[in-house]
Amino acid sequence: MSIFTGSGVAIVTPMYADGTINFDKLGELIDFQIKEGTDSIIICGTTGESSTMTHDEHLECIRYAVDKVAKRVPVVAGTGSNCTREAVDLSKKAQQVGADGLLCVTPYYNKATQAGLAQYYIDIAKSVDLPIIMYSVASRTGCNITPEVALKAFKGADNIVAIKEASGNISQVAKIASITEGELDIYSGNDDMIVPMMSIGSKGVISVLANVAPKQTHDMTAACFAGDYQTAAKMQLDALELINALFCEVNPIPVKAALNMMGMEVGSLRAPLTEMEDKNKEVLLRAMKNYGLVK
């Protein structure tokens, strides 16, 4: 059984001006997401700036999200690391505080051989009882999960159940679906590929776009599940300008700027991320106006 189907939001972490986490605002965002139809909350992912959190902050965010969601939708916690022991420790603690699943990014900086990569996932999986989503995003980590490694990890532990595929390579996605015989759930990690990936069996998306357009992102996946790919394709194309604008600087710089433009008051970013350049803010604002998010 899938951890979730449809639209999972890779939710931002709101900050106060001094850089501390604004949990009250995080609670508001979670309620907003669930009200608008989001199917899962993904906490402490890349978009949530997990790489700049202390371990205590990381765990506190997961605990807060679990308590705030209160089983209304699944909570998936980001617990990957470039150190297997660290990933195992955080995964165990996420299980203890009630997460419904784990999202584990590939090791970054030190990367890993393909054999080491499969073992990384198997070691994490065997340390917990929660279902695990592997996360392949070589553009950020320098480490791609090949279809063969995805299959090896999937066969190596019963609770490795899915992959968030953000390679941008639809042929690779298709091969993963083929060699795992459709048994490994696939989630799009790219908002511009939601519909193409769902057309070959993806269970949905783990989305940045959903932060600002939760209902539209959910409805896009719902149209795919209903077999109405004509409607879904139009929704995908209508969102393309906004999606591109949300990635005109490194994520989550633009999406936090967008939420602030919408009056959500999520605050700024932690260094080394900086505020969005003015010229890119203009691009983003224009895209948001064209999409109907702001006037």
Q: Which residues are catalytic?
A: 135, 164
- Cα distances (Å, whole numbers) of residue 241 to 39, 194, 218: 24, 15, 18
Q: Using the 8-state DSSP alphabet, how is residue 188 labeled?
A: E
C-alpha radius of gyration, the chain, whole number = 18
CB 131 within 8 A of CB 162: yes
Residue 7, φ and ψ in degrees, nearest 5: -105, 115
Contact between 120 and 88 (Cβ < 8 Å) = no
Answer for the pair 259, 12: CB distance below 8 angstroms, yes or no.
yes
d(CA 208, CA 198): 17
Q: Contact at 8 Å (CB) between 157 and 134?
A: no
